[in-house]
Structure 1
Amino acid sequence: MGDSLPRLLARLRDPVVRDLAWALASPNLLAATPLAPGNDWYRTLLGQYQSRLLALDAAPGILHAHCRPYRRLGQYFEALWRFFLLDHDRFQLLAYDWQQVVAGTTLGAFDFIVWDKQLQRIEHWEVAVKFYLITNPGTACGDARGVNPRDRLRHKLEHMLHHQLRLSQHPQVGERLHRLGLMPNNHRLILKGRLYYPRSCRLFLCEQGERGQWGTELPDPSFEPQQKLGWLTGGRHCERLASRQNYRSGNGDWYIRVDREWLDSQG
C-alpha cells in the first residue's frame, strides 16, 4: 500500500512529478458525477504507480521533455495523463486526441481510447482540469465560474457528459470504431481541479474535493502568487501579478483574488 497523496507530495521535490501525482490521485472536482470513477480508483492508480513516481523524482528528464511543449493548463494536464498511459504497463494508449470528421464536419475528438489490461476492455476517457469560484453554494453547481466568468461549471459538465462522452454513439463514428475494433466498453469522466469559496462559506459542493477561498483583498504575505502551471500543486512563483491571481500558502492553502470587473460580471 502506497502513501496517501498529501504524504507523497511532501516527499516529491520535482514540480512536474508532483503535478503528475496530483493529476492521477487528486479527488474528483464534484461528488457523484455520472461516469466519474470513484476516488478509490485514483488512489489505486497512485498505489500502483508510486514507485515509478519516486524514480521519476530522482531523474525527471523524460517527463520534463514530454510536458515541455504544453504551456496551457488544460493541455499540460492532458499531457500528464498521456505520459502516465504511455508509461504504465497496465494500459495501452490506442488513440489520443482523435478527431472525428464526418462529411466534412468535425463532430468532436476522443481524448483517450485506452486498453486496460487488468480489466481486459477498451475504455474512452475524457479528462479536464478546472478551477471555479463559487458565488452561490446553495445551487446545484453553485453558480460556479472561472476567473474568466464566461467559463461555467454547468456548461463544462454538460458538454463532457452529453457531447464528448457520447461521441461513440454517433452512427458513423460508432461504425468506424467497430470496423477498427476500437469500440469502448466503458467510459470515464476524469474532471479534476479545485473549487474556491467565499471566506465565510461553510456549505461546500463536494466535501472530499479540493477547495480554496476567493475574495477581493490581497492575501497575507505567506501566500505566494502562482503561474498558471502552478495551479495544480504550487511551486511556480509568478513575478507579474494578474488582476485575477491565484495564490498558494506555505501550508498548502489556496486563494484567488478577483477584481471589481469579475464581481460586476456576476450580476
Structure 2
Amino acid sequence: MNIASVKTSYFEPWLQFNHPMVRQLAFTIASPNLLCHLPQSLAIQHNFQLHPDQIWEQHFQNYLPRLKQLDETPEPLLQFMSRLKSTRLGLRFENLLWFWLQEDQYHSYQLLGYSIQKIEGAKTLGELDFLVLNKETQQVEHWEVALKYYLGEGQLNLEQWIGLNREDTLSKKLYHFTDKQFQFSEALGFKVQQRFAVLKGQLYLPLNSAQDQSIPDWVNSTRRLGFWGTVIPNSNFYRLERHEWLCPNKQASSNTAYWWTDGLYYRNTENTQFYMFRHPFLLSLGLNSDEKMPLYK
C-alpha cells in the first residue's frame, strides 16, 4: 500500500453521539488498533496479540444501546470518570475501557482485576493493566492498553515512528510490551493464557511524503491517518482541546486557527483531516518554507 491508495472512508461510529465523554467512550471501544499485525522485524520475547478490527466493531454493536442511553443520561459515566484526577490522555483512555469492562452484560468478559502490581520482596516487577476472563473461550487474558500518537519520518520504518516526546517511539513501545509488560504467566492466582495489546490512537504521515511512498503493511489502514508538519496549511483548521484527541467534540471547540502552537488541529469538512503541527525549531526536517500540506481527495 502507498500513500495515494489510502482510503478516505472509515468506520467511525463514535461521531454519531452528542456528549463529549460518550463520544470518547465510543471511540475507546470501536476504534481499531493502530497496527493490523505485529511487524516481522519485531523480536518477540513474550508473545502477545492484537484484537482484529471485527472484534472491536462487534463490541461496539453490542454496546450501542448502552451508548445511546448514556448519550441521553451520561451521569453514570461522568461520575465514574470524575474519580480520575489526572489529565493524562492515556489514563483517560484506560479508565474509559475500565468503565466498559465493568458493564459485563454487554460483552463476554469478566473483569478479574485492574492495575495489578507484581511485587517480589521489596522490588516492584511491573503491573498488569487488566486481567479478564473471556467467557466464550474460558481463558484468562492479560490486556495492556496504550493510547499513542506517532509521527512517521523517513521511509516510515518501525524505528521511524516518533512520539511527541521523541524518547517515545513505536518501536520502544512494542519492545516494552514484549520484553516487560507481558512477562507475567500468572496474576491474582490465575494462569495467564492469552495476552493482548490494546494499542489505539492515531498515526501521522509527514506532509511532504510522495504519493507513491510505501506504507508498512502492519499499519492499520482502517484507522484514519493524519498528517504532521512544521508549516501552517492554508485550509481552515481549528485546534483541538487535549481531551478531543480521543474524539473531537460534535461542535467546534475553538475558532479557525490564526495563531498556531504545537498541537493537533482538525478540519471537519467533506475531506475530514487531522494535522499535528510541530514548531520547526523542535525538529530538523529540512522543509522548505513554501511547502504546502497535501490533501487527500
Q: Same fold (TM over 0.5)?
A: yes
Task: Tell whether 2:245 aligns with 1:245.
Answer: no
1:87-98 mapped onto 2 (5 Å cutoff): 87-89=103-105, 90-98=108-116
Which residue of 167, 184, 198 corresponds with 1:190? 198
Q: How many angstroms apart in 2 are the aligned matches of 1:84 and 1:265?
A: 41
1:146-185 mapped onto 2 (5 Å cutoff): 146-168=163-185, 174=186, 177=187, 180-185=188-193
Summarize the Cα distance change of 1:217–1:242 in structure 2 as closer, same or farther, 3 Å threshold.
closer
Give the number of equivalent residue pairs. 252
Task: Tell whether 2:137 aligns with 1:119.
Answer: yes
The answer (yes or no) to whether the contact 2:142–2:195 under 8 Å persists in 1 is: yes
Partner residue, 2:97: 81
Structure with higher RCO (Cα < 8 A, 6+ apart): 2
Q: How many angstroms apart in 2 are the aligned matches of 1:138 and 1:75?
A: 28
The answer (yes or no) to whether the contact 1:132–1:195 under 8 Å persists in 2 is: yes
Which residue of 56, 76, 93 corresponds with 1:62? 76
Q: Deviations over 1:80-137 (max 9, x none)?
A: 1000001132322111111111021111100000122232221110110100110123
Partner residue, 2:291: none
SS at match of 1:45: helix
How far does residue 221 in structure 1 lie from its aligned partner after superposition? 5.6
How far does residue 219 in structure 1 lie from its aligned partner after superposition? 3.6
Unaligned runs of at least 5 residues, structure 1: 169-173
Q: Which amino acid aligns with 2:163?
A: G
Q: How many angstroms apart in 1 are the aligned matches of 2:51 and 2:155?
A: 24
How far does residue 263 in structure 1 lie from its aligned partner after superposition? 1.0
The answer (yes or no) to whether the contact 1:134–1:142 under 8 Å persists in 2 is: no
How far does residue 45 in structure 1 lie from its aligned partner after superposition? 0.9
Q: How many angstroms apart in 2 are the aligned matches of 1:146 and 1:83?
A: 27
The answer (yes or no) to whether the contact 2:14–2:30 under 8 Å persists in 1 is: no
Which residue of 49, 57, 60 corresponds with 1:46? 60
Q: Deviations over 1:208-261 (max 9, x none)?
A: 333100111224463221122110111273699784211111133100110123
The answer (yes or no) to whether the contact 1:147–1:244 under 8 Å persists in 2 is: no
Q: Which amino acid aligns with 1:194?
A: Q
1:210-229 mapped onto 2 (5 Å cutoff): 210-220=224-234, 222-229=236-243
Partner residue, 2:6: none
CA RMSD of aligned residues (A): 2.3
Q: How many angstroms apart in 1 are the aligned matches of 2:260 and 2:130?
A: 33
Unaligned runs of at least 5 residues, structure 2: 1-9, 39-47, 287-297
Which residue of 146, 159, 162 corresponds with 1:145? 162
Identify the structure with the greater helix proportion.
Answer: 1
Percent identity between matched residues is 30
Q: How many angstroms apart in 2 are the aligned matches of 1:149 and 1:243?
A: 18
